[in-house]
Structure 1
Amino acid sequence: MPHPEVWLVRHGETEWSRDHRHTSTTDLPLTEDGADVARRLRPSLDRDFALVLTSPRRRARETAELAGHGDAEADDDLAEWAYGDYEGVTSDEIRQQVPGWTVWTHPSPGGESATEVSERLDRVLTRLRGSDGDALVFGHGHALRALTARWLGLPVTDGRLFRLDTATLSVLGYERETPVVLRWNTPARP
């Protein structure tokens, strides 16, 4: 019996993702373009999944609905990495005060640590690996990159190695018993 796959969808564009502002707890809607692209994901996701999860944030839930999976179960553990004091701020603005800052290498005052993010995403992985078939997850840029690192048995901070654009599809799976990336950052069909 083949190993199940985990399909990952990063939410569609929001005003802040378009402007490169860190967005974790701020609950923004999709832009018109973000909604259009989310709809274009539908044909790629028109299949049965044993488990469909989404971040509780509006942008992920809207993407799930527009992509044909409005019945996705919200899971708080799929929320974006909490940026604390850096919420709504761009990396360039942060780097004016903290040279070289990234969420992967530096703390976010008032936000989550890499250890905290790893603990909650490991709970998600337990659910995904316990699924009776393929799973589909709607989430966020940093959290899905971190989830991928954990899928591969890497530290959560190695999520920095996986660029992930809005409204893209990625697939995690196995080569024999080894967790691998099968497809990454695939845009919606035009």
Structure 2
Amino acid sequence: MRKAKFGKCLEEGLELFRNDTIRGLWKSSRLIVWPDLYRMVSFDPKDRANALELVARVRPVDHYVSIICDQHEVAVILPDAIWNDKNTSVNCLDSHGPLACLTFDVPLDIEVAGYLQPAVNCLADAGISIVPQCALIYDHVLINEKDRDAAIFALTELRQKALSDETYPN
């Protein structure tokens, strides 16, 4: 396990939360650590059917899955086991994993600005690279498996700062 080294974010007590609304969201936020490992796979847009077939194998609720389609690629995040157990050779542009998936279990209104910023800053200060994934209501981050424990520690400490009696300007 890699121990997180915290920079300015948690050690120097700099302003972590943009305002009391963001701090309140962090107070009520719960971190979900998905039990499986994940893989991010990039497909050429013309191979979208292959990506969708893999996504269809993922059991909803039991596993995290994400798909993003744009003009450059079809990017899929799916359980590593599904990628490793595919029965056929699938053409992909690139893949990366294993990754750990963390979900911030607090419903966010689309108008909220700045909720993820404290997490991004603290994880960056700890030297942890992230792949943020924002859905309509919940936010997630994917991190290298080797950084999972350090990320959990950093995010737990961040929430503890939100729960503390420190006040933040509006």
Check whether TM > 0.5.
Answer: no
Q: Which of the two has greater strand per residue? A: 2
- Rg (Cα) greater in structure: 2
